[in-house]
Amino acid sequence: MAGNIKLMVCDNADSVAKEAAKVFSALISDRPEAVIGLATGSTPENTYAELARMHKEEGLSFAKVTSFNLDEYWGLDGDHDQSYRYFMRTNLFDKVDIRPWNTFVLNGKAQFPAIECEAYEQKIVSMGGVDLWLLGIGGNGHIAFNEPGSPVDSRTRLVSLTQETIDANSDGRFFKDASEVPRCALSTGIGTIREARGLVLLATGAKKADAIAAAVNGPFTPDVPASLLQDHPDCTFIVDKDAASKL
């Protein structure tokens, strides 16, 4: 069942980034104080580059925007060059006028993870919830670091990474060696993500084709975490032809 998921298939990864950036810039232009959710990984890098270009050349302003990120490696300081806080600074935050104090990323070095996670959930609620959350997808269908088996009502918490995810993130793009990848992460839950008013999931490349097909056309099941978005009222997948090839 495809549920409510809206699908946009683009010619290539570049068009995926441009379409995704358009959706976010439209929201921010319409609602300058928007609360946005952000993702890390290779896939959204070009979207952030496009948003940075729109800021520089077209005056798109993030001055009143608040952002929440999906997840953070457990044990990494925000200054570590593989932390997601560092990723966001270098790919987006330092290139636009978003105020650093309005950017929320889970603290991978928090002394008490349960308290950190609960405070993060409360912060999202206190900001009125997330208007639009950008997502990627793992080859195994994970969203954020919600690995297969994560319940539909899961909340922000400390999670273990699967070997597949550890390997995927140590293929030379990020960590050089699997031994360097943290085994755990703090991740927003599927329940947390589903509460966003809008969701935009990006996928590019043939490596994501199975996960996209299972998420869109397969059963609604924790075995494929992204399939748990099928009943969301406003969820769009923006994918390139390769990622759409098994639909």
The residues binding ligand GLP (CB under 6 A) are 39-43, 70-71, 136-138, 144-145, 165, 169
For residue 40, give the nearest of 79, 78, 7, 72 by alpha carbon: 72
Burial classification of residue 26, based on how many CB atoms lie within 10 Å of its CB (0-12 exposed, 13-18 middle, 19 or more buried): exposed
What's the closest the beta carbon of residue 32 comes to ligand GLP, in angstroms?
26
180 is catalytic: no
Which residue out of 46, 116, 142, 240 is catalytically annotated? 142
Burial classification of residue 100, based on how many CB atoms lie within 10 Å of its CB (0-12 exposed, 13-18 middle, 19 or more buried): exposed
Which residue out of 50, 55, 69, 71 is catalytically annotated? 71
What's the closest the beta carbon of residue 63 comes to ligand GLP, in angstroms?
26
What's the closest the beta carbon of residue 190 comes to ligand GLP, in angstroms?
12
What's the closest the beta carbon of residue 204 comes to ligand GLP, in angstroms?
8
Six-digit token pair at 53?
């270009």
177 is catalytic: no
Q: What share of the chain is helix, strand, coil (3-state, %, to 5)?
A: 35, 20, 45
Which residue out of 91, 107, 140, 169 is catalytically annotated? 140
Closest to ligand GLP by CB, 91 vs 169, is 169
What's the closest the beta carbon of residue 89 comes to ligand GLP, in angstroms?
17
Pair 134, 19: CB distance under 8 Å? no
142 is catalytic: yes
140 is catalytic: yes
Report CA torsion sign: 51, 25, 135, 14: negative
Residue carrying structure tokens 């270009």: 53
- Helix ranges (H only) for the chain are 13-30, 45-58, 84-91, 113-126, 163-168, 190-194, 209-217
Which residue out of 131, 147, 232, 240 is catalytically annotated? 147
Closest to ligand GLP by CB, 60 vs 187, is 187
Collect all residues with Cβ–Cβ distance below 8 Å to 146 and sequence separation of at least 6: 154, 159, 187, 189, 190, 193, 225
Closest to ligand GLP by CB, 138 vs 198, is 138
Closest to ligand GLP by CB, 41 vs 218, is 41
Closest to ligand GLP by CB, 137 vs 196, is 137
Closest residue to ligand GLP using C-beta atoms: 136
The maximal CA–CA distance of the chain, rounded, in angstroms, is: 45
- Give me the active site residues, please: 71, 140, 142, 147
